[in-house]
């Protein structure tokens, strides 16, 4: 082996390390120069006379972008959208349960269904044709891919709805306790709901958003019982439906709203504690799957491996 080859082999790791370091440094520098939000904020703090971005123009651009996207989704999902008003109403209720209450929500949803189907077909078609040619197997796989693309937005919508309903369910006892304190302190139910909206906006935004909508509807003159029923239907949470029934019955029969809310809050806390105990009991069963699939094989190899090697060597001799 020559001296040149030895020197190149010795220097090569340092050259590779230096190249990777310089490349990472360059990428971080480019990213830092592009992400100048904090720097612009510091400049505005240092120089108050500096020009600030116009919030109205930004909101207007966002509205225009949303309008264009809704129009494109409407055209794309027009053939997929049901014509029956009952089906459209059911779909709108599902979107309301997930927190999507825009006027074009149904059109955008079916547009996303069509878009995801087209994207998956565009990705899968060349691969299937290259692997199987234009055969019946290719058509079968493409049909399965199209069905997957059509069902994908519904799966994401169900996941979002489940998380939102769980968030509302877990934060509802705290909101009811605050309402009890406000009602017993002399505030009305409307003022108590407004207080909950202002106090719990950071910890439970989904519930406070629904309460804010209900407050706005009551301020516009709708009857309270209709507003509470709409709140239960709009969220899809059974405990909110029970809360609406409790408040309506308390007002109808003239009983204390504070006592009714306190009893309902205690029942909800008991239910939440039972749910936590149920999930804790399921943990021991769920942990068996990763234990058997990932941990037990490694332990088995460590414990039985040396003995197996010795047995194999003995048999070979």
Separation between Cα atoms, residue 113 and residue 147, nearest integer Å: 10
Query: pLDDT digit string (tens) for 36-82?
Result: 555 566 666 666 554 444 545 555 666 666 666 666 666 666 666 77
Percent of the chain at pLDDT exceeding 90? 0
pLDDT of residue 299: 82
**CA separation (Å) from 198 to 174, 212, 231, 249?**
13, 9, 18, 26
Per the CB < 8 A criterion, the answer to whether 234 and 212 are in contact is no
Separation between Cα atoms, residue 201 and residue 166, nearest integer Å: 16
Separation between Cα atoms, residue 256 and residue 262, nearest integer Å: 10
Where does the pLDDT of residue 1 fall: very low under 50, low under 70, confident under 90, or very high at 90 and above?
A: very low
Per the CB < 8 A criterion, the answer to whether 168 and 204 are in contact is yes
Q: Which residues, at least 6 apart from 14, have a Cβ–Cβ distance to it below 8 Å? A: none
The residue behind tokens 């116009």 is: 54
Separation between Cα atoms, residue 177 and residue 275, nearest integer Å: 19
Buried b (16+ CB within 10 A) or exposed e, 13-40: eeeeeeeeeeeeeeeeeeeeeeeeeeee
Query: pLDDT digit string (tens) for 130-189?
Result: 877 778 888 888 888 888 888 888 888 889 999 998 888 888 888 888 888 888 888 888
pLDDT of residue 5: 45
Query: pLDDT digit string (tens) for 256-300?
Result: 788 888 888 888 888 888 888 888 888 888 888 888 888 888 888
Q: Which of 298, 286, 166 is nearest to 235 (CA)?
A: 166
Separation between Cα atoms, residue 118 and residue 141, nearest integer Å: 14
Q: Which of 190, 176, 173 is nearest to 261 (CA)?
A: 176
pLDDT of residue 44: 62
């Amino acid at each position: 082996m020559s001296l040149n080859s030895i020197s190149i082999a010795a220097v090569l790791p340092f050259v590779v390390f230096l190249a990777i370091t310089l490349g990472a440094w360059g990428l971080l520098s480019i990213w830092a120069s592009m992400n100048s939000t904090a720097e612009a904020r510091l400049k505005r703090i240092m120089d108050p006379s500096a020009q600030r971005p116009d919030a109205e123009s930004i909101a207007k651009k966002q509205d225009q972008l949303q309008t264009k996207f809704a129009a494109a989704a409407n055209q794309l999902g027009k053939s997929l959208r049901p014509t029956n008003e009952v089906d459209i109403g059911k779909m709108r209720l599902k979107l309301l349960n997930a927190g999507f209450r825009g006027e074009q929500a149904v059109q955008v949803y079916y547009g996303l269904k069509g878009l995801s189907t087209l994207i998956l077909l565009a990705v899968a078609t060349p691969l299937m044709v290259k692997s199987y040619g234009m055969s019946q197997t290719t058509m079968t796989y493409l049909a399965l891919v199209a069905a997957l693309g059509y069902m994908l937005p519904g799966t994401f919508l169900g996941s979002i709805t489940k998380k939102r309903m769980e968030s509302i369910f877990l934060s509802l006892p705290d909101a009811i306790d605050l309402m009890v304190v406000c009602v017993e302190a002399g505030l009305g139910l409307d003022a108590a709901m407004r207080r909950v909206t202002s106090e719990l906006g950071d910890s439970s935004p989904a519930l406070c958003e629904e309460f804010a909508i209900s407050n706005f509807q009551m301020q516009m003159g709708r009857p309270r019982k209709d507003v509470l029923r709409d709140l239960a239907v709009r969220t899809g949470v059974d405990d909110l439906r029970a809360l609406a029934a409790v408040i309506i019955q308390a007002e109808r029969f003239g009983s204390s709203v504070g006592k009714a809310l306190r009893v309902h809050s205690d029942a909800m806390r008991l239910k939440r504690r039972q749910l936590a105990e149920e999930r804790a009991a399921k943990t021991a069963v769920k942990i068996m799957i990763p234990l058997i699939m990932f941990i037990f094989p490694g332990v088995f190899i460590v414990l039985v491996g040396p003995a197996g090697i010795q047995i194999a060597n003995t048999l070979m001799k």
